Every structure is written in structure tokens, then in C-alpha cells.
Structure 1
Amino acid sequence: MAMENIFPPMVLLNPKQKHCNPVRVASRNTKSVINNCFKKKYFVQEKLEPMWDDGYGTQTAKDYLEAAKDMIMPDNGPPRWFCPIESGPPIENSPVLLFLPGIDGLGMGLIVHHKAIGKVFEVQCMHIPVYDRTPFEGLVKFASDKVRSEHTLFPNRPIYLVGESFGGCLALSVAAFNPNIDLVVILVNPATSFSRSQLQPMFPFMEACPKELHKFLPYIFGLGLGNPIKMANVNVHSPFSPAKKMENLFRDVKALVEGATLFADLLPKETLSWKFKLLKSGAAHANSHLHAVKSEVLVLASCKDNMLPSAAEAGRLLDSLENCKVRYFPDNGHTLLVEDGINLLSIIKGTSTYRRSKTHDFVSDFIPPSKSEFRGTFNELLGLFRLATSPVMFSTLENGKIVRGLSGIPDRGPVLLVGNHMFYGAEIGGIVEEYLREKKIVLHGVAHPEIFSENIEAPLQVISGFDRFRVFGAVPVTARNFYKLLSNKCHVLLYPGGVREALHRKGEKYKLFWPEEPEFVRMALKFGATIVPFGVVGEDDIMEQFLDYNDVIEIPVIKELIKTRNTVMTKVRTGTQVTGEVANQDFFVPGIYPKIPGRFYFLFGKPIETKGREELLKNKEACKELYLQVKSEIIRNVDYLLKKREEDPYRHVFERTTYRALSGPVDQIPSFDP
């Protein structure tokens, strides 16, 4: 049988070839594909723009089944690597990502994510033919040879190993045998827990099962892999009508349920028996070498995995491995990577796992948010909050005129937005969203380092808001990061008041808590950044604080908890130069109760140019004067908004809800005339 009839569109890699740079090839003819692959022409993009199309939802588990139908045909070939065509050319200096498949061996487990990860990784997937009988040690050698080959070509770049289920055992063993190579290992429901799984009792039954009944085992096995509804839901976010979305959903669910019979062809009795032996030996091999794994490891675990005890296994691996992080998914099954709501690239970005060199750099390794990340965060996750607060934004033009929208803020950086924190920093999401929606520019917030520290890493942590901070450009507030952002002409969001302002006390609404020293002015002057002072109000329209720091610190037990927690916390301002209330950066949980939602109002003041004023760097008094000017502008903006919001006919949620139902979207609801 001709190989071009076996494989769907992809780039095949000869296992003897040391390296191949994949290119986009439209032909299904294998010989043509291989020839094109070995020309070593590597077309890359320079960078990704904000709101880029990551293709999430364009391919689903249904496409996996379609590809599997072609790939299960016997070809008597050994294991090999292939590059998915849809992954396309990655951005410059992208690291290699090697996908190690689950028990199916097809290598198509990343199909939902091919387009997205293909933009920032050179993706290569391992394919193990159905009738291949390479033992586990042979597969470890095969993958290790590939790792060493890639390391020889690019010794300063990390190599990513994404191992799903059985591939997780393979990834750990490869990492254990290559401790001196910089590997980033991502384990998706790893089969290292095979000895404690529900699969283990099936092994002796399968051996004794008559051949006539054996055909039902793979069918049962296929149905237990995951939730068909979640798999089919991957593409319901596409821009179709509700009726069309439901039609697609029912069609895909039907195809997935029917597709479970495919496992009878994919795993005939001899192959299934071999796969179980491979799983058993792979799990034992990986577990016996965990102590030798020095690589950075990220474990993704499903809590509703019907095949393996993945949640419990994630905790065991967290305790057993030197450098391990865990994220768990409460409502997902074994086939995590083809289920709805799981964007592998977002997870990698949100856990600060993506890097192009020895260490992660928050600025140079940043990948702009995509359309699906924007939609998933602001339209779906924060949609109700946005509807409740209906942020309205005004900016100031050069001539002093106040207009609605962000047109008064320069597009060309570096730009430094400096403003006041509302309670809990509730305004941050609105600014970041509007910046992306209107200006298509990433606004990098410089946030408290504790958000990025290991202290917030809990065993089995759900993907949290802290992960989303990183996806949308937040960086730890350090002089080094601040310097890099401004030198790269970025747009930066800064709150000099920090934690003390975000967790202010009762009666301190809209009060600024700034240090005496002009911390940010000198850096702005050095790079000629445009400073835009802004004020925001509205926290008193959505919540009321009844228990603040002064109250909880009087409770002995809570006082000790706060003191202990803040002792190990990363400090932002230290030394004798910072005194008074601004020096109190303690984290605590206040008592609040919600109110009938009002509205958030933002006013960005007239931009303050610092370009060409570098001589002020040598004049402390001039720097201090500019610092106080920015502070006074913020106070003026806050006072203006507090007064003008009284004129807004849509300040309250009932009027806004009525307008939205009859007239238009949230961002078009009218407000006061500036």
C-alpha cells in the first residue's frame, strides 16, 4: 500500500535524519513532502501581534478520529516523527516541542492545539505504528536520540517534551536519562499511576477473554476515555448562530460516540495486549527513575479521569520531583487535550513555563494574548462582572478636550499609565480589556512579585486568575523588568500605591498611598516615556467594606496568621527610605458585602511628555516636582469623576440592562457628557 494513502497531510521525518525544519506543504504525496522537508528552508514569523488567531476550535476530537482512520493502516514501519502541516512556521528562535503519544501511539493527541503551539514551537510528534513492537527501552532510546540531536543543533534552547498518558512515562524516562540537557517536561494525566488504576484489573481478564468478545473491550475502553460533550464543545465558540452551534454539537457528539468503535481497529487483541504490557513496563521504568529527573516539570491532571487516578498521582509527583508544578482540572476526563476549555498554550504561558533560553524572562519570552484567550477571559469568565460594572472610559486630547475612549493615549510607546488602585484592584481587568479591544495593544501591568512566587503555588492548583495575569502581560514589579519594558517601548500600567492602596481601610476610598521618593519618574525620563495619569472610581458602587485590616489584626488567631503569611512573602519596598502607611504592604482578607452594581468610570489625563527632558535626571527637585504633578493630576481626575458620575443616566444596573436589551452592547451604553 502506498504511504501517501496512509497518512493525512503532514510532514514525515525519517528517523535516521538528524534534524529537519518543517515547512508548510500542501501535498499529500509523501515523497514530495519528505523532499520539501529536507530542503532545510525554515520560514518563520518575526513576532505575533496581540489578538492573533490561534485557531482554537478549528480542529476537534472529530478531526482526530478522521486522521486516525488513515493512520491505523499497517505499514510495517518503525516509530517515526512527523510535523503537523497546520502547525505552520513558528516565530523566530522558537524551541522544539516533541509530543509523546498515549496508548494509541498515533501522535495526533495535540490536534486541537496544532495551530496555536505551532506559532511558538517547532512541533514534532512521535508516531508508533499499530503493529510496531518496539519495547519501552527502545522507545526511550528513540526519543533520547531525538532529544540529543536537537540539543546538539540548539544547545542554548530548551527542548519541550509533552507526554500524554503513556507518553508521560516515556517523557520522564527520557528526562532521567538526559539530566544535562535543558528539558521542560509537560505531563498530561501521566500513566505512572498504572499500577493503581482501573486498567490494571483488566489485564488478566483481557488475556483470558475469547477473541469473539475481545472486540467489545476497545469499544468500552474508547467510551471511558473522556466526556463526548466536552470534546464536541471545543468548536461551539465559533461565530455561528446558536441554532448552528447546537447542530454542530449534536453532530460531533454522534460522531464521537460512533467513533469509539475505531478503537477495535486501532487496538486489536494482540496490539491491546502488547500496549498493556508496554504501559506496565513504562510505568515501572519511569517510577524507578523519578529520582534522576532534574528537569522542569508541569503536571496537568484531570479530576474526573476514569482511566487513571490522575489527581492523586499529580500530588505524588509533586512530592517526588525536584522542580514540579501542578495544575488540575476538576471537570475533565482522561482525554484532557481534546476537551473544551483546555488551551495548552495558555496553560504553558500562564504557568511561566514558556521560555526560549535557560531561564524564563517575563519580557522577552512574552507571547501576546490570542483571540480565543481574550474571548475566554473577558467575554466568558469576566463577562458578568463587565456587564455589572459596564466600564466607561474617557481620555484627554493634547488640546485638553475630554473624549470617550482611549484616543487621547498615544499609540507609540513607551507609555506609562500611572493611577489609583480601587479595592482589590477591581479596575485592572477593565483597563487591560479596553486596551486590547480598542487599541490592539498589550498593557503590561507591573504587579506585586508575590503573585508570581512559589508561595501561591498550592498542591493541585486550579488555573487561577494569577495565571491569567501572566497570559495578559503582567510582570513582577522589579527595576529590571521596568527597565526592559520601557526600553522595548511597551505600554506599562503602574500603581505606586501598591498593596496598601488596593487593600485600603474603611473610610479611605480613592485615597493615594504613595512613597515620598519619585520612584518611576527617573525611569520614565531615562527612556523618554509618555506619562498618562489616570483616575478611576466605582468601587463604592459595587461593594462595601465592613471588616478591614485594623479590625482583623485585633483578632489574635488571625493576627498570627497574617504575620506568619507576610513573613515569607516577597517584599517590594524595603529599607529605611520607605516609612509610614505605604510601608505596610501586608496581605489580608477583608470583610466585604456586595451592593446593587453601579458603574466604573475611568479618566485618563492629558499625556505628559518626558522625551527631551533628560536633564531633569540630574535635578532631584525637578523630578520631585514632576512626581507631584502626576499625583495631583490623578487626584483631580478622581474628583472630576466623582462629581460627573452623578449626571450619568445609566449609572445604575437596571437602566444599563434595559438599554443593552433594547439597543446595543456594553461598550456602547451612553454616559455623562464630559
Structure 2
Amino acid sequence: MAAIGAPLFPPGFSLVSAILAIGTAFPSSRPISLGEKGTRYKKDGEKGLTPFAEDVELESGRERLRRFFDEAKDLTRWGGGPPRWFSPLESGSPSEKLPLLLYLPGIDGTGAGLTSHLKKLGKMFEVQCLHIPVMDRTSFRELVKMAERTVRSANDRFPDRPIYIVGESLGGCLALAVAERNPDIDLLLILANPATSFDKSQMQALFPFLELIPEQLQLSCPFILSLMAGDYSSTFKASTEKGLPPQQTVGELSKDLLTMSSYLSVLADILPKETLLWKLQMLESASAYTNSRIDAVKAETLLLTSGKDRLLPSQAEGARLNDALQRSQIRKFDDCGHFLFLEDGFDLVTIIKGVGFYRCGKVLDYVSDYLPPTPAEYKKLDESHRWFAEITGAVTLSTLEDGRIVRGLDGIPSEGPVLYVGYHMLLGLELSPIIRQFLNQRNILIRGIAHPLFFNKYRKGQTPGLEFSDILRMVGAVPVSGTNLFKLLSSKSHVLLYPGGVREALHRKGEEYKLFWPEQSEFVRMAIRFGAKIVPFGSVGEDDFGEIFFDYNDQMKIPLLRNWIKQLTEDSAKARYNTTGEVANQDFHLPWIQPKIPGRLYNCFGKPIETAGWKQALNDREKCHELYLQVKSEVESCLAYLKEKRESDPYRSIFSRLMYQATHGSASEIPTFQP
């Protein structure tokens, strides 16, 4: 069936990433099974489906640190005794509907590290945190056995529910050890700067020093507190971006320093000298124990590493673990310190969503397990792509029931299921404006069917840019399959389809605006089955932004490039089955493009085609093919209409648009031709 590329055009994208964003075809030969519950949308009256989840405001780094110490101070009152689990959220009895999340703390042992993330995590998980009392001297191996008992008990109670283990620093070693000992249990590990590289840590030098200093001095506390506070330059940078005067910026920094000094006594209670010595010894044994067994870990693993970790060489260690583990992926945070969960702007839930790491059952269901972005998450994505919208000045038109073409999306159906079937411009240039305008104007999230390459999370070879893939998954893309399309339509979603797929978006010289659709009518029968409205659309403007001067045919004549193309194609999962000709599984390649002074992008959505009355033709191949050809003809008509009408657009050039904004304000909508 149809194809989709990446939903948002990323800032600073590479051409390789852009190529790999190209969607692909629907494999009509794969079996189709009944889907489960649909995307968790809320009704929004005339605006149709609201894609946004409930928003939770993120706290600043300083507020996170304050909350951590407030919570840790309460937890230290538990005194001695064995380690214990506690639930930081108000909840009833354990539920098989939500996965269990076990948090294993770092060197502090309090279990309060996720305090600022709990509101969002509590909507997705049943959360339990491990607290290791200050005076407890349980060995690392005993901690492993304790966590193992908890994991096995939870698995016995709900065997079909995955168990997440979030391990921070020391907790990362603990999580890996538990996973190695329980390969038969469905575990997903999230490791933040795991301490498997402790033998290379600066903390090694503290051993002899700590043994000599008196208990009263607690000279190690300021060092550890500085690690938790992170880089003060971030405060200065944030103040500068807000336009605060120098005096106010200095005042903010002074206030931070005074606040931090007040935490020293709490930190001294959490990590007195003898406890710190014990924890450092435990880190040493934990690192050695875990590294000797790392090759046997089979659990799915997400590695989160910091670039400014002054305690451990976390990014180098993350790369090593990513190579050693069987099913791992990694995300790097260059400006963050060791205590990642306390960093300003770090959002664990957003990371889990973007990586596609959340599931409620044994197998990830890209439709029912999908968590829509919160308003804050979408706002951040939208702002990061605003530059592309300003450069392209996209014009979007739609067609009303009476056939009139109007600017905007008033002609788009509010209720699904809807299939948007169109032409895939070079490198998917049309995608970002379409996705943004549907969300901003109509509050509709289009679910795209993307190439499987974006969902091969544990492939260690060539993969598209990580940020690019994460954005793709955040806005609801699913890997191409008959089952996923079935589930999307059964949940009344709005789905974006490109029958031309890779062949259309990676076309050769002189092939712009030429449709490369398969002979068989792939998507029509599925649309009829669910009574989906089909909205044909065309997109033009690629020839105003660049021109291909070195295409696939040219590259295949050069041995080095030919081998690169073949290798990249072999590393990519096939997306089309039983298809021949131009639109069969295409070789991935990088077309060389000569940039032009930017023109303007145009999208025109035709009149929706009703399929509700076509049920009797569901098994009539000729009738279905007739509808297929009608949709194709409508797409070609949209292309022809836009190519003609754009000639009369006085603001087709970026210079004329800049002049208009200079005189009318940057927020003003720039006019175009009369539809």
C-alpha cells in the first residue's frame, strides 16, 4: 500500500537522514489480523480528534534539586534496617494493565532520583523505588538477589506484563546483573550513566583520602554536591536567552549558590564518611561483577549517557556497552552531568516515547501502545522546525463539499478514518508543513506508515540520525505492515499514504511531479472495508528549492558509490512484497542536489472520496481498480492545478515574502494566488 516519510523535517538534517525518511509501500501479501484498542485520543467537538496527552509542566533544574533533597531528607529518617521498596505515588493494588517500573538508585541510595519525573511516569507505569538506608551494609550480591526476588514475584503475578528497570549509576550495574540472571523474564533496562566504568573513575582517588580525613570535615560532600548541581554556565545561558540584565543574572547565580550550600547538611546525612566509603567499595565490586557477565545480558536496553559526567567516563562507556549488549540503543546528552535525572530540561518520558521503548504487552503494538505527545512536547518540536516553515512559506489548500478550493484545511474531514493519498516530493519536502498545519489548524495528528528501517532499533550497522527517528516515532509513525494499517483504520485514525514510496521521493533527473504508482490497487480495498474517506492531494515546489544533477543512474556507474548503495539497501528491511517494476523495493541512495534560491511549497487536498457505499464492490477487483485510478487521476489534477496557479503567486519568491513580513509583521499570513 502506501508510503510515508518522516513526519517532521528536522533542524540541521543531513541528506542521508532525509533520504532514509522516505516512506515505503504497503505489503499487500502480509496477513491482516484484528487490531486492539486504538490511539488514546480525546474528542474535541468540531475540531475532531485531539492528539495531545495531558500535560505536566517540567520543573527547572534547581527546583528538581530542591525536591530531591526534600524527599531524600524524609527518606533518611527511616534509619537503618534492610533495603526496602516503596511506592512514591498514590496507587491502588498492582494492575496488569500498566507495566511495572523498578527504580534502582545511584550512590545516594535514597530512591528519590525520579521524584521530578513521577507525575508523568505514573500515567504509564506502576512505579516502585528501592531505598537503601544510610547505615545499611547489604552487599552488592545481596542487593542483586533482593531485586531478583522482586522481579520474579512480579513476573509470576503478571507473566504477560513487561518489567522496566531504571538503573542510575550503581543501579545500572544492579539492573544489568539482575537481567543476566533472569534471561527468561521480559525485562527492559533504562540505564543512566551506569557505573560499569568505575575502574576509570575519579572517585578511585578518594579511597585513601577519605580514610584519612576526620568524620567531621565531610570534604567529599561539596564535590558530590557540585556533581548534582551540574554546570552553572547553563543558568547564565538561560538568563541570557531570557534577556535578563547582568545584575539579575548575577543575582540568580548567587541565589543558586546560597541554596546549594543549604543542601550540604542533608547530603552529609545521606552520605556520611563511613557510608560513602562503603558505597565506593560497592561500586568497585559491582563494576567488576557486572562486566564479567555483560555478554550474557539479553534484555532490551536503553543507554542514556552524559557528556559532562565528572564522576564517570559515561559516553565512552556507553559506546562500549552498546557494542557489547545484544539488544541495545543509546542516546547521548552532551551538556548533562552525572545525575542525569536532575538535569534541567531532561524528560525521561519524552525520551521513552521518542525511542519507541514503551509497551504494555510482550510485543510492541505501534497503535495501541502509542502515547501522544503532550502540548509541551509538541510545542518544543514545533518551535524547533519553525525555521523550515518560514523558509518554505507553505501554502495549503483544501476542497469543500461543493467543489470550491479554499486556503486552509476547512475541507478536511474531522472524523476518521481518513486516508490522505498523494505525491511524495523529493526527499519528502512536503511532510513537515503538512504535519504542522494539520496539528496547528485542525488539531489532527496524521499517523504515518514509515519504512521499517526507522524501527530496527538494535541494528548495529548504518541507521538514520537518532534525533530524526525519535521525532518520527513521537508523532505516531508506525512501520509499514497490513496489520498496522488495519489497526489505524479500525481506530478511526487519519493516515498518510504514498503509493509511490521510495521510487517517487528518490526520483531521477527530470522526473519531478511524475507519479510512480504500482499497477495493483493496493489501498482501496482496505479503505472500503472501513468506510474510510480517501483524500487525494498533490504537492509542488521541489523544483523551486533544488535540482538533481547527480542521480541514481549516475551513481551506479561509480564502483565506490554503487557498493555503498547496495550495502545500505541490504541493511534495510524490505517494505514491499510481491511487487515488480518501478515501485518494487528500491535501492536507497543519496541524490546530489544543486540548491536554488528558495521558492515556495504548495499543497492541495482534493475533495474527499466516500467509500462507505462501496461495500458491495469489496471483492470486485475491477471496481476497486476503477476507484484506484480515480484517486490517481485526482492526485494528478491537484499537481496540475498547483503548477498552473503558482505562476500567479506574487509571493512565490522568498524575497517578496521577506518584504511582506517586514512591512506587515512576522506573524502575518503571507498572501498567495486566488484559489
Query: Which category of TM-score, normalised to the shorter sequence, fits these structures?
Result: 0.7 to 0.9
1:501, 1:512 within 8 Å by CA — same for their partners in 2?
yes
2:497 to 484, 494, 498: 494
**Residues 70 and 332 (structure 1), Cα distance of their counterparts in 2 relative to 1, 3 Å cut:** closer
1:168 to 168, 172, 183: 172
Is it true that 1:474 corresponds to 2:477 in the alignment? Answer: yes
Partners in 2 of 1:105 and 1:461 — Cα distance?
A: 38
> Which secondary structure does the structure 2 equivalent of 1:613 belong to?
helix
- Amino acid in structure 2 at the alignment position of 1:314: G
> Which 10-residue stretch deviates more, 143-152 or 409-418?
143-152
Partners in 2 of 1:207 and 1:195 — Cα distance?
A: 19
Partners in 2 of 1:664 and 1:565 — Cα distance?
A: 46
- Residues 525-556 of structure 1: per-residue CA shift (max 9 Å, x gap): 11111000011112222222222112111112
**Residues 66 and 450 (structure 1), Cα distance of their counterparts in 2 relative to 1, 3 Å cut:** closer
> Which 10-residue stretch deviates more, 355-364 or 448-457?
448-457
- Residues 446-504 of structure 1: per-residue CA shift (max 9 Å, x gap): 11222222586559997320121111111111112111111221110001111111111
**Residues 673 and 80 (structure 1), Cα distance of their counterparts in 2 relative to 1, 3 Å cut:** farther
Shift of 1:57: 2.0
Partners in 2 of 1:661 and 1:426 — Cα distance?
A: 26
**Which runs of structure 2 are paired with 1:22-421 in the superposition (5 Å)?**
50-58=51-59, 60-69=61-70, 71-72=72-73, 73-78=76-81, 79-85=83-89, 93-211=97-215, 214-225=217-228, 227-229=230-232, 243=244, 251=252, 254-255=255-256, 258-259=259-260, 262=264, 263-380=267-384, 382-421=385-424
Q: CA RMSD in A?
A: 3.2
**Residues 476 and 665 (structure 1), Cα distance of their counterparts in 2 relative to 1, 3 Å cut:** farther
Shift of 1:210: 4.1
The one of the two structures with greater contact order (alpha-carbon pairs below 8 A, sep at least 6) is: 2
**Residues 345 and 568 (structure 1), Cα distance of their counterparts in 2 relative to 1, 3 Å cut:** same
Partners in 1 of 2:128 and 2:556 — Cα distance?
A: 55
Q: Counterpart in 2 of 1:508?
A: 511
Q: Counterpart in 2 of 1:578?
A: 580
Q: Percent of aligned positions with the same letter in both sequences? A: 49
Q: Counterpart in 1 of 2:638?
A: 637
2:80, 2:134 within 8 Å by CA — same for their partners in 1?
no
Partners in 1 of 2:354 and 2:93 — Cα distance?
A: 23
> Which secondary structure does the structure 2 equivalent of 1:464 belong to?
helix
**Residues 673 and 189 (structure 1), Cα distance of their counterparts in 2 relative to 1, 3 Å cut:** same
1:87, 1:114 within 8 Å by CA — same for their partners in 2?
no
- Amino acid in structure 1 at the alignment position of 2:580: V
- Amino acid in structure 2 at the alignment position of 1:266: I
Q: Counterpart in 2 of 1:539?
A: 542
**Residues 536 and 131 (structure 1), Cα distance of their counterparts in 2 relative to 1, 3 Å cut:** same
Q: Counterpart in 2 of 1:453?
A: 456
2:575, 2:585 within 8 Å by CA — same for their partners in 1?
no
2:504, 2:516 within 8 Å by CA — same for their partners in 1?
yes
1:94, 1:120 within 8 Å by CA — same for their partners in 2?
yes
1:431 to 434, 458, 474: 434
Q: Counterpart in 2 of 1:36?
A: none
Partners in 1 of 2:506 and 2:393 — Cα distance?
A: 23
Q: Flag structure 2 segments of 5+ consecutive residues without an equivalent.
A: 1-38, 43-49
Partners in 1 of 2:573 and 2:620 — Cα distance?
A: 32
Q: Counterpart in 1 of 2:673?
A: 672
Partners in 1 of 2:293 and 2:284 — Cα distance?
A: 15
> Which secondary structure does the structure 1 equivalent of 2:569 belong to?
helix
- Residues 14-48 of structure 1: per-residue CA shift (max 9 Å, x gap): xxxxxxxxxxxxxxxxxxxxxxxxxxxxxxx9767
Q: What is the TM-score of this pair, normalised by structure 1? A: 0.85
Q: Counterpart in 2 of 1:7?
A: none
Partners in 1 of 2:157 and 2:425 — Cα distance?
A: 50
> Which secondary structure does the structure 2 equivalent of 1:126 belong to?
strand
Q: Flag structure 1 segments of 5+ consecutive residues without an equivalent.
A: 1-44
**Residues 63 and 86 (structure 1), Cα distance of their counterparts in 2 relative to 1, 3 Å cut:** farther
Q: Counterpart in 2 of 1:624?
A: 625
Shift of 1:184: 0.6
Partners in 2 of 1:324 and 1:454 — Cα distance?
A: 8
> Which secondary structure does the structure 2 equivalent of 1:200 belong to?
helix
**Residues 247 and 484 (structure 1), Cα distance of their counterparts in 2 relative to 1, 3 Å cut:** farther
Q: Counterpart in 2 of 1:613?
A: 614
> Which 10-residue stretch deviates more, 491-500 or 292-301?
292-301
Shift of 1:288: 2.9
Shift of 1:159: 0.8
2:53, 2:371 within 8 Å by CA — same for their partners in 1?
no
Q: Counterpart in 2 of 1:25?
A: none
- Residues 551-608 of structure 1: per-residue CA shift (max 9 Å, x gap): 1111121112212322342222244x521x2236111112123322222211110000
> Which secondary structure does the structure 2 equivalent of 1:596 belong to?
coil
> Which 10-residue stretch deviates more, 148-157 or 531-540?
148-157
Q: Counterpart in 1 of 2:604?
A: 603
